[in-house]
Structure formats: structure tokens, C-alpha cells
Structure 1
């Protein structure tokens, strides 16, 4: 039996994921995707592809059997000032769960699949609250940037009841993602893997930042270092290196023709705080993450919020007596 699929969250990741899902449903002759977003206008391309808009999240819940969510917080711009809202991704998801529970529709058998990066305790709370009304929560954070999402090649770390995982698998594997890592029934495990994955990503960026500053100070040269990184470690680490050498660590502002940073420094700091707090609670430490967090925090204090998670490179440059900005980045907030 065909199930009605819903989608909420059309940011840089969510839109690409939702488009791939709608194309799959259409190709399989299944009912069109229903979608909603805080700003429905962002779904114009999704509507053009045949998906159906819902005015709000409550309406989406009523209309759908399975609801995927990809939520987050975004940089706000007022004139030339860029800020981060005083809410977190966890706050947004908790609000959506509350709206689901306040719905006048029956929730028996409904499945909520969250693909965002949230704290393990938030996942556990969502699962417990929804279960009380007969609904199921699946924690399924994804690995990959927005171009990977658009290409349908994300990695899903999925946890929840086994039967529910099997139900959503056909809408995920080879649709929005290239693989699924089955994390079992404990939804905390998916969130922990995502946080651990971000420890690796941030640590790679920290080490690459240090290596590039070393290459510049010794006149070795960044281009030769990046060529070595590509040949030795492959395209993933090469792409991380490119975020430094291309200047993407401090991209142009909107009024300069720039685009939002791929992984905003503020969000990376939020994920690092989660990681550091969890590590401390379990009697271990993350020294590289601590250095990266300190440098990225100082980068935000110096250059504002329009920074990528690779901006610890700018701080490392300053510590070595160089300018925060390299030749390819913006030159400040002008």
C-alpha cells in the first residue's frame, strides 16, 4: 500500500533531499510529496516538480503517514549585521514534536524521521513523547554537504524500531542516500555517531589549517600541499583543503554576491559544545576539538558570523603573524 510522505525543512540540505524524494515518488507512481516550511516560498522548485504545499506543519502531519524533517537555524542579516537566532536545532525539533502531539489527527502508526544534527537526549525525548500517542520517531542524521544532498549520495545513520526502519528504507536508500548505517533501536546512537563524525570533520579542518599555515610560513606553498593531500588522502580531504585555499572559510557577504557558508562556524561550534560536554560526562577528552573550538570562537569574535567551519584557519594565521584573510577570502565586513 502506498504511504503518503511528508517533508518539512527546505534549507540548503532539505530542498535537495526533498526534490530527490519527490522525483522518486513520481517515478514509482506513488502519491506526490506533501511539504511545508517556515517560508513556503522556498519550495517553489519542489512545487514545480509536482509536490504539494501544506500551509503549516500541523497540516503536514494530518496529511502524511511518514514525515521527514531537516531543520536547523540560519544566519540572519539586518543591513550589514549578521547574527544567529537565539534558538537551536534541538529547540526547533522539540517545537515540531509538540505541534505533532497537539494535532487533532490520529497519530497511530505515523513515523517522524528527523535527519538533522541534534543532541542524543533530544532524540530520546522525541521518541518517548511520540510513542505515548502511538507514533514512532526515527533519528537519522545525515553525512554530506548540500551538493551531496542534491546528488542523492548522503549517508544516513538511522536508529529506531526495526519495523519502522524497514518501512522508510525504500524512501531513503538510492533515493536520497547512497548508504544507511543501521544504528539499532536506541535513537541516541544515531545522534552520537553524527556528533562523532563531526569531531572527525572539525579535527580534519584543524589539522589542515595548521598544515597550510606551516606551508605558508616556510614557503613550501599551499598548492603543492593541496596536491599532496589529494593524491595521498583522496577527494574528501582535498575538498576540505579547498575550503581554505579557495577562501571559502570567509566567503563574501550577501551584498558582495556571496552565498551562505556551507557549514556555518556558529553551528560547528554548537556541535563541538555537544561533543565536549558528552566527552566530559563520560570521563574522556577531545584535545583537538578543544583547540578547534577555541580558534573558531575567536574567528567569530574577530570576523563575525558569516564564516565557514574552516575559519579556525584564519585564527591560526593570526597566531603565526599573518592576516586573518588570505588572498582568496573576503577582506573584512566592508
Structure 2
């Protein structure tokens, strides 16, 4: 069962806790949840004699299919050693061992998504700038790939290919609803710690507007559609679902 948010994880754990015995069982969560949720789940399972590894992953669906994910694993070091052979060079290209505190791996995942969403926001703005000035999105994308490498180029391609608003029968690479949830966690932690994430605030505002404008079947890169609208361009590009 996909774990889309904290509530789903809590529900699944409650179901597990209701079983007659889970003593010695190992639970591994690869989703993105608030660090406090990971800590609470770990304590609840530990009280029943079970083990818990918080192991959020970095990488979109194509990366997962290629077995190239990055796993940020925290929990019992014995249990991490136990499962590592099934992950390293099988499901993922790297395991980042975050130690015993499951709070830390969830925090790293949320921190990592600051980059993912922030880069998407910046690239969306740059590509709209390129279109409005006549430079052209193709030249901008070539520069992004040459200067910053294939990862940022792939973010650009999600916009220029129209994947930011895919056909309704095609699932998005990183659903806007999940991205918005992750950004809410990051902004809440930032507020708690007395720091600011203005780029993420802009991205969150644009993702919210995109969902209001075009519904939920959007990628997180749909910030591009709203950046286009704000610049006087259509939300839909010629390659997106209502542009072709």
C-alpha cells in the first residue's frame, strides 16, 4: 500500500500494532513524513518488540525502476546491516547511514526536497524568462544541461516536454499533492527553528494555484504553468495535455 502522507503511515502502524504479535518484526518506511512522525512510529513499534527503520528515498520513478535510488536509513544498526545487501546495488546506488535516530533520516529527506522543489521553481522562472525574451527554451535547456548536468536538465525537460501537466491517464513523476505536503513539512520546521525558505514559499503558492487552475493530475513542476500565467502566457504549453 502506498504511503502518501503521515496519516496513512500512522493508520498502517495502528493496524500492525493491533496484531497478536509483531515481536522481532522489521518495518521499513521509505516515504517522506515529518521527523516527529518517524520518531513516534519507532517508539510505538519498539514498545511491541518490533524494529523500525526510517528510510526515505531520493529519486523519481525512472530512477527507482533503474535501481538507482539513494536510501537515507536510520534505526538499529544491526537491522540496517541486515537489510543493506537487499538494497545496495539492487534497489539503490547508495545508502546514507543516518545513525540510530530515525528523526534524522526524515529530516534529511525533507531537506533534500528543498533542493528539488527550489531547483524546479528557479528553472521554471528561467524558462519563462527565456520564452518571453526570445532566447528560447531549447537554448536555455541546452545551457542548463551543459552547465549543471543531467539532473537539472531533467527538471527542465519535465516543463518543456509538457510533463508538468501530463495526460490524465499518465501519472505524474512527482505528484503536486505530495510535493505540497513535503513543502508544508519543510516550512513548518523552518518556522519552528526561526529560519525562512522564501523560494519554497513561492513554489508552494504556485503549486496551490496550479491545483486550483488545473486539478490534481499535475507534476510538482507545474509551478511552470503558473509562472507562465503570471507572465501573460497560457498555463498550457503546446506539449502539455491541453496544448496538443
TM-score, length-scaled by structure 2 = 0.97
Name the structure 1 match of 2:33.
Answer: 118
Equivalent in 79, 88, 98 of residue 183 of structure 1: 98
Q: In 1, Cα distance between the equivalents of 2:121 and 2:233?
A: 17
* SS at 1:280 equivalent: helix
**Structure 1 residue 275: deviation in Å?**
0.5
Equivalent in 93, 99, 102 of residue 18 of structure 2: 102
Name the structure 1 match of 2:119.
Answer: 204
Equivalent in 293, 296, 299 of residue 204 of structure 2: 293
Unaligned runs of 5+ in 2: none
Equivalent in 205, 216, 219 of residue 134 of structure 2: 219
1:1-334 mapped onto 2 (5 Å cutoff): 9=1, 71-73=2-4, 89-105=5-21, 107-254=22-169, 259-331=170-242
TM-score, length-scaled by structure 1 = 0.71
CA RMSD of aligned residues (A): 1.0
* SS at 1:91 equivalent: helix
**Structure 1 residue 167: deviation in Å?**
1.1
Q: In 1, Cα distance between the equivalents of 2:109 and 2:187?
A: 14
**Structure 1 residue 194: deviation in Å?**
0.6
**Structure 1 residue 222: deviation in Å?**
0.4
**Structure 1 residue 72: deviation in Å?**
2.8
**Structure 1 residue 111: deviation in Å?**
1.0
**Structure 1 residue 233: deviation in Å?**
0.8
**Structure 1 residue 327: deviation in Å?**
1.1
Q: In 2, Cα distance between the equivalents of 1:323 and 1:133?
A: 55
* SS at 1:326 equivalent: coil
* SS at 1:113 equivalent: strand
Q: In 1, Cα distance between the equivalents of 2:15 and 2:167?
A: 37
Q: Give the number of the structure whose alpha-carbon radius of gyration is greater.
A: 1
Worse-superposed segment, 94-103 or 308-317: 94-103
Unaligned runs of 5+ in 1: 1-8, 10-70, 74-88
**Structure 1 residue 331: deviation in Å?**
1.7
* SS at 2:223 equivalent: helix
Q: In 1, Cα distance between the equivalents of 2:167 and 2:89?
A: 35
